[in-house]
Amino acid sequence: MRTLKLGDRGKEVLDVQSRLFSLGYDLGTDGVDGYFGEDTRAAVLHFQQRNGLRADGVIADNTWQELVEARYEPGERLLYLRIPSFRGVDVLHLQRSLNRLGFNAGPEDGILGPGTERAVLDFQKNAGMVMDGMIDESVLKVMARVTKDGEPHAAGAKIPDRNGGYAVDRDLADLTVVVDPGHGGDDDGDVSQEGIREKDVNLEVALGLGKALESIGCGVLLTRDGDVTVPLYDRPALANQGGADLFISIHHNSNPSPRAQGAAAYYFCRHGYFSEPGIILAGHLVTSISEALDVPPLPPLGRNYAVLRETEMTAVLLEPVFITADGMDSLLNESGYATRAAEAILAGLGDYFSPR
């Protein structure tokens, strides 16, 4: 298009003015009149400043391009990586949503470049969608379920696995692991047939795991190291503040039926989103625990538990056995139980970080 500047008149000026007006810019008393006056120039300057353009008050290609693409509402057009890049508020909205969800879309600049595409692919992978990098209605729908206007839904909607969460690229020995013994203090958790309290078994296994991890060089943070009450939300908070790389919560399962048994591991899952590293890690842990303790492996289970949701790193909650199962009291009373369970967990972590 031809360059438009102060004093110009005509259809093209009218077009620019109506776009500015629909975006909420003030065109003064004359409004959309087809004349590029001082008020129009002020609106153009304002638009340029807000969009990081060179503020010269003139409509040339770059400003025109921004003006055209600024009007796209999220979902109004199909977005994908192309040259020249898609630009606009819909791209910005997409980047913001991805970043808030922990998929690194890079700077929120409203330009759909390779960084944004990578984040879209990551999102699609984690959401179990076709990884084609096409941002269509189906992608926006899944995204809308976890975010609203680019903001995570009400408190507690933060998604783990920030920074990609693909800890698998790293060496286990270099990581900081939070070990979280469930319950404690006022909260006994479940109780076995003969009165063994879950909180005590959880703590024993957690202390064993902490030692095992330290012995290979990991940094270890325990959410409790004694029989004390720890509020639920303090547990992920400790992990987030401590900059941990992994969060392992230790519980033990229960069931009214004494025949219920099996090793269980839970990963974060909510509204169609699930933690990709979480499900893989859960699988390794279940396999390792079931072999070591001779209990059936249960399939990894997706759950929206607070400790899985609020943690910003990969998180798994484990229940090595059902403490309510027949014969379990004698297993739990064996002096070696906690050590065996801890070593099985360590082995499962090892399998995740360097597959056999």
- Residue 143 makes CB contacts below 8 A (sequence gap 6+) with 94, 97, 101, 123
Nearer to Zn ion, 189 or 320 (CB): 189
Token digits for 291?
């072999």
State the nearest-atom distance from the C-beta of 202 to Zn ion, in Å: 7
Which of these ranges, 42-50, 186-194, 215-223, 294-302, lies near Zn ion under the rule CB under 5 A?
186-194
CA distances from 210 to 153, 214, 305, 315, 321 (A): 34, 6, 22, 16, 19
Contact pick of 182, 278, 300, 320 for Zn ion (by CB under 5 A): 182
One-letter amino acid identity for 25?
Answer: Y
Site residue total, Zn ion (CB under 5 A): 3
Nearest alpha carbon to residue 273 among 356, 140, 159, 113: 159
Which of these ranges, 131-139, 244-252, 269-277, 279-287, lies near Zn ion under the rule CB under 5 A?
244-252
State the nearest-atom distance from the C-beta of 148 to Zn ion, in Å: 32
**320 makes contact with Zn ion (CB under 5 A):** no
State the nearest-atom distance from the C-beta of 324 to Zn ion, in Å: 12
Nearer to Zn ion, 133 or 189 (CB): 189
**197 makes contact with Zn ion (CB under 5 A):** no
State the nearest-atom distance from the C-beta of 203 to Zn ion, in Å: 12
Q: Which residue sits closest to Zn ion, CB atoms considered?
A: 251
One-letter amino acid identity for 132?
Answer: D
Q: Where are the beta strands (DSSP E) in the chain?
A: 147-148, 151-152, 176-181, 219-222, 246-250, 264-270, 273-274, 301-303, 314-319
State the nearest-atom distance from the C-beta of 333 to Zn ion, in Å: 19
Nearer to Zn ion, 87 or 251 (CB): 251
DSSP strand pairing (151-152 vs 147-148): antiparallel
Contact pick of 184, 189, 208, 278 for Zn ion (by CB under 5 A): 189
**251 makes contact with Zn ion (CB under 5 A):** yes
Pairwise CA distance, residues 279 & 130, whole Å:
18
State the nearest-atom distance from the C-beta of 292 to Zn ion, in Å: 20
One-letter amino acid identity for 64?
Answer: W
Angle, alpha carbons 297-300-304 (nearest 5°): 140
Nearer to Zn ion, 18 or 254 (CB): 254
State the nearest-atom distance from the C-beta of 204 to Zn ion, in Å: 14
Give residues in contact with Zn ion (CB under 5 A). Answer: 182, 189, 251
